[in-house]
Amino acid sequence: MQKITTHLWFDSQAEDAVELYTSVFGDSRVTRVQRYGAVGPGPEGTVMTINFELAGQEFIALNGGPEFPFTEAISLYVDCASQQEVDELWARLSAGGQEGPCGWLKDRFGLSWQIVPRVLTDLLSDQDPAASGRVMKAMLGMGKLDIQALREAHAG
């Protein structure tokens, strides 16, 4: 097990969420499922926690009840190599959820994701403030990020 593992608190949808997430990312799998026993606090036999990996990164999902819903204060950042990857992840993760600005979305479970093309970091880091400023302005006007439009903004 890795030293630090992201722990995600769901009301009662951890199993459905993990099924979606492991279907979206390659090199993903469920590694352990723990169920509530007779003592509870959840109904006996239902999923308490699910350990899983997404692209080799370990996570734990908990069915902990409605007390602590997700907020934008935590998000999962996904580095994408191509527009095709951005498009596919955006479509699959935003289905039933909510599209947001600047590459952000919420999935149907309320978890926030940042779907970001790798090239964006290079474009925003350009030493020419006019070029990086045009990229920032273009990005701020987008929902799903568009690599070609970002490159065009960079070029002026």
Residue 1 pLDDT > 80, yes or no? no
Average confidence (pLDDT) over 66-82: 96
DSSP the chain: --SS-EEEEESS-HHHHHHHHHHHSSS-EEEEEEE--TT-SSPTTSEEEEEEEETTEEEEEEE--TTS---TTSEEEEEESSHHHHHHHHHHHHTTSEE-STTEEE-TTS-EEEEEETHHHHHHT-S-HHHHHHHHHHHHT-SS--HHHHHHHHH-
In this prediction, residue 2 carries a pLDDT of 86
* pLDDT > 90 fraction of the chain, expressed in percent and rounded: 97
Residue 40 pLDDT > 90, yes or no? no
In this prediction, residue 90 carries a pLDDT of 98
In this prediction, residue 78 carries a pLDDT of 97
List the domains of the chain with CATH numbers.
1-68 (3.30.720.100), 70-156 (3.10.180.10)
The answer to whether the pTM exceeds 0.75 is yes
* pLDDT > 70 fraction of the chain, expressed in percent and rounded: 99
